[in-house]
């Protein structure tokens, strides 16, 4: 730094040789510029580090701290437990590796759709699909967006997800583009979607850290939070001809404070589960990916943090 200032001083002397009285003023100006630039760089570093946390907005001054640390026994190849309010990672295993999200993709499908559709909008089945978990919708059938949202998030109906995408401007291609735009907007730089249902394992990917971040953001939407915590619901087409009984695939709802969020499974992805858990007035996000037993692993992590957290008061 001293050598740099010396060089600048010599350069200024040569340039301003006829008027040496300006030299101190210019030197001060250079020092001021360097100070501002240093502050700017530090600000950029802070901003980037914030964008890498599971949640963008730090709202809590209570820092979660594990009373007893040990390695919980889980089968999942990757997992994470995050305190939603403080964004603090409590437990992590391979949290930055990319995995197929399977049907947890539908979290982003729901958030993208909620930005555009009204709950009473009537959507039409333009192309029926029979792949994976489906409701059994047929071409030409019409349902409200709200009922399709429940169908997509409770029994994880792939055909409901595709119908939502088909009725978006630009249909499926336009909807998928919007999903990926939203991912970038939320700072999910290791996340990509190629279909609205999570069936394309080779092209859909995210990390446990970013999936936890997406889950945290999704819970800010009260309707989404309400839907994913629903155990069962009856829906029908707009004519009341076809009725459907929906059962939430998340077997852990209501157990140990768990109230959501989304299941996922394909042969490639293995078992995936994103859960929200109430713990002493706080909300924890639990994500397990590529698990042989997603429900067992989630319960093991829930047990790990239950009555094992204390919150320290800090200044944010």
> Three-class SS string for the chain?
CHHHHHHHHHHHHHHCCCCHHHHHHHHHHHHHHHHHHHHHHHHHHHHHHHHCCCCCCCCCCEEEEECCCCCCCCCCCEEEEEECCCCCEEEEECCCCCECCHHHHHHHHHHHHHCCCCCCCEEECCCCCCCCCCCCCCCCCEEEHHHHHHHHHCCCCHHHHHHHHHCCCCHHHHHHHHHHHHHHHCCCCCCECCCCCCCCCCCCEECHHHHHHHHHHHCCCHHHHHHHCCCEEEEECCCCCCEEEEECCCCCCCCCCEEEEEEEEECCCEEEEEEEEEECCEEEEEEEEEECCHHHHHHHHHHHHCCCEEEEECCC
Quick check: pTM over 0.95? no
- 262 counts as catalytic: no
**Which range is least confidently modeled, 52-66, 88-102, 114-128, 237-251?**
52-66
- 87 counts as catalytic: no
> Active-site residue among 93, 106, 182, 262?
106
In this predicted model, which residue has the larger pLDDT, 78 or 51?
78
- 86 counts as catalytic: no
The predicted pLDDT at position 23 comes to: 55
- pLDDT tier at 65 (50, 70, 90 boundaries)? confident
Whether 29 has a pLDDT exceeding 90, the answer reads no
Task: Kindly state the average pLDDT of the residues 138-146.
Answer: 97
- pLDDT tier at 40 (50, 70, 90 boundaries)? very low
Q: What is the mean pLDDT of the chain?
A: 86
> Active-site residue among 86, 87, 100, 103?
103
> Active-site residue among 156, 218, 275, 276?
156
């Amino acid at each position: 730094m001293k050598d740099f200032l010396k060089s600048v001083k010599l350069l200024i002397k040569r340039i301003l040789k006829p008027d040496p009285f300006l030299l101190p003023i210019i030197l001060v100006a250079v020092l001021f510029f360097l100070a501002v630039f240093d502050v700017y760089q530090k600000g950029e570093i802070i901003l980037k580090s914030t964008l890498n946390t599971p949640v963008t907005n730090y709202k809590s001054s209570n820092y979660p701290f594990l009373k007893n640390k040990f390695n919980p026994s889980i089968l999942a190849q990757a997992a994470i437990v995050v305190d939603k309010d403080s964004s603090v990672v409590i437990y992590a295993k391979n949290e930055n590796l990319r995995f197929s999200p399977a049907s947890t993709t539908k979290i982003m499908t729901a958030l993208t759709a909620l930005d555009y559709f009204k709950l009473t909008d009537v959507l039409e089945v333009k192309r029926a699909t029979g792949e994976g978990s489906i409701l059994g919708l047929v071409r030409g059938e019409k349902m409200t967006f709200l009922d399709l949202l429940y169908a997509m998030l409770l029994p994880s109906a792939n055909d409901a997800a595709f119908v939502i995408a088909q009725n978006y401007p630009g249909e499926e291609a336009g909807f998928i583009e919007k999903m990926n735009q939203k991912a970038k907007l939320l700072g999910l730089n290791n996340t990509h979607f190629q279909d609205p249902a999570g069936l394309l394992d080779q092209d859909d990917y995210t990390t446990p850290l970013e999936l936890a971040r997406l889950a945290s953001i999704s819970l800010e939407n009260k309707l989404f939070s309400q839907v994913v915590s629903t155990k069962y619901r009856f829906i029908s087409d707009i004519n009341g001809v076809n009725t459907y009984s929906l059962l939430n695939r998340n077997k852990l709802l209501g157990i140990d404070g768990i109230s959501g969020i989304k299941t996922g499974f394909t042969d490639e992805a293995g078992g995936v589960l994103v859960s929200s858990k109430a713990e002493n007035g706080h909300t924890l996000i639990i994500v397990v990916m590529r698990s042989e037993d997603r429900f067992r692993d989630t319960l093991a992590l829930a047990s790990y943090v239950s009555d094992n957290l204390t919150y320290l008061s800090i200044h944010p």
